[in-house]
Amino acid sequence: MLLRLYRTEFGLIDYIDSSAQNDGSYSWEIPSNRGPGDDYQVRITSTSDPSIGDYSDGEFTIPSTAQPDDDDTNFSEIGASWTDD
């Protein structure tokens, strides 16, 4: 699975993982260079069939206090789940 990070105002801003396992869950450490905002989304795309993909169910927030040491963001907690059968 290909995981990409988007912002409403800017579009694609980062590739999170280009070979994530298809197990329905993924944890990600927020990089220190990500600015705060409440308009982030994740797009999940199948690497075997790029026509299969979806955005997270809604936007999520990266707070201004986010640090690389903070708890990981789990995509299943922000409405992003997937199955590639």
* Domain coverage including residue 36: 2-78
Name the band, by pLDDT with cuts 50, 70 and 90, for residue 69: very low
**Domain count of the fold of the chain:** 1
Tell me the whole-structure pTM to 2 decimals.
0.70
The answer to whether residues 83 and 48 touch, using CB atoms and an 8 Å cutoff, is: no
Kindly state whether residue 73 falls inside one of the protein's structural domains: yes
Could you report the per-residue pLDDT of 6-26, keeping only the tens digit for each? 998 899 999 999 999 888 888
Kindly state whether residue 41 falls inside one of the protein's structural domains: yes
* Other beta carbons within 10 Å of 75: 22
